[in-house]
Amino acid sequence: MPPKANLIRQLSLEELTEFLNANNFPKFRAKQILDWIWKKNVGSFEEMKNIGKDLQTFLDEHFTIDKIVLKDQQVSNDKTIKSAFSIDDKSVVEGVLIPTAKRMTACISSQVGCSLACTFCATGRLKLLRNLSSGEIFDQVFHLKSEAENRYSKSLSNIVYMGMGEPLLNYKNVLKSIDWICSDKGLAMSPKRITVSTAGIAKKIKQLGDDEVKFNLALSLHAANDEKRNEIMAINETNNLESLQEALEYFHKKTNSRITFEYIIFDGFNDEINDARELAEFAKCVPCKINIIEYNPIDGEPFKQAKTEKVDRFASFLESRNMIVNVRRSRGKDIDAACGQLANKNKAIQLQDRKLKPKK
């Protein structure tokens, strides 16, 4: 008999069916329960109105629903919404809904804090507390999807795992959350609408290839030579560009998917034509597109946003090398919801010690 701490959302349909059968409950209840948990996203067994009170009580005695709770929300001048979710008594993560003319994108977190400590990222200042469960990841998407529909009358079009944490260091739960997001028992979204972004963990990129995943992969590159990348991303010291190139080639061979290279452009650091030349040389290893991302300053860091004319010249050089290039302008900067700013000026840096209280 499983302990109360068991998370029911960790069970597959087969596992839940077997457990119910072993305890003399009808097998068909398993589908009903999973429908309540995933598609309807309830937070208690009492809300499952069609399974009977005996089963409600039994489930409550044996399982926990690892439901996240909205604690705070900010809306930017550009309509970007940043939501802070309570995970437990001392942990909060953030998710962001980014509305544009063509897309409605949810940016979600996969860990509480991060262990990689990239120098330009506010989340990197937080120590890693724990991985999120697949259910906790799913809940962020469900909430942001509801916000898109209720506030903007639009469907969620894209999901990016680009919030707090390194998704590939929470490999199992990230992939399981995507399975439920894409399942017709969950949100029934296409995996091609989902992008998982990694700072670059070669063996896990290869594992994605072996698992033949259908979602998109993005690599946070930010520099195309090891010396510069070591300076801003400690992960590069154990996963250098050569190993990443090999892993990306392997991933593409296995999945036939195009890679996205993310390149935050910093003033005076990686914004020269020679940097663009190195990027073009590296990026040709696989079919790809390049997203040049405007840097969003965080307190206490020396980096500055690159000048517009340099960004444009950088992008033009890449296009002259037949690269597909998008320049991503920041959204949600006024509420610290832009790329690299999660856990910045809101109270999230202090969340390891206390809860974030909702605004009055």
Q: Looking at the predicted structure, is the pLDDT value of residue 95 above 90? A: yes
Looking at residue 29, its pLDDT comes to 98
Report residue 328's pLDDT band, with 50, 70 and 90 as the boundaries. Answer: confident
Q: Taking 50 as the threshold, does the pLDDT of residue 148 lie above it?
A: yes
Determine the pLDDT at residue 339: 52
pLDDT (0 to 100) of residue 303? 85
Instruction: Locate 76 and state its tokens.
Output: 């930017």
Pick the closest to residue 327 from 341, 339, 342, 343 (CA basis). Answer: 339
94 is catalytic: yes
- Tell me what pLDDT residue 330 has: 62
Burial 313-343 (b: 16+ CB within 10 A, else e): ebbebbeeeebebeeeebbbbebbbbbbbbb
Q: Which of 94, 136, 166, 294 is catalytic?
A: 94
Task: Provide the CATH number for the domain formed by 8-62 in this structure.
Answer: 1.10.150.530
Report how far residue 312's alpha carbon sits from residue 17's, in angstroms, rounded to the nearest whole number. Answer: 57
- Domain chopping of the chain, boundaries: 8-62, 69-350
pLDDT of residue 338: 47
Domains 8-62 and 69-350 in one fold: no
| CA distances for 342 relative to 121, 125, 299, angstroms | 8, 10, 12
Is the pLDDT at 23 greater than 90, yes or no?
yes
Q: How far apart are the first and last CA of the chain?
A: 44
- Comparing 4-8, 209-213, 246-250, 261-265, which segment has the lowest mean pLDDT? 4-8
Q: Mean of the per-residue pLDDT values for the chain?
A: 89
The pLDDT assigned to 300 comes to 61
Portion of the chain with pLDDT greater than 70, in percent: 89
| Confidence (pTM) | 0.89
pLDDT for 331 beyond 70: no
The single residue of 107, 114, 288, 339 carrying the catalytic annotation is 339
Which CATH class for the 69-350 domain?
A: alpha beta
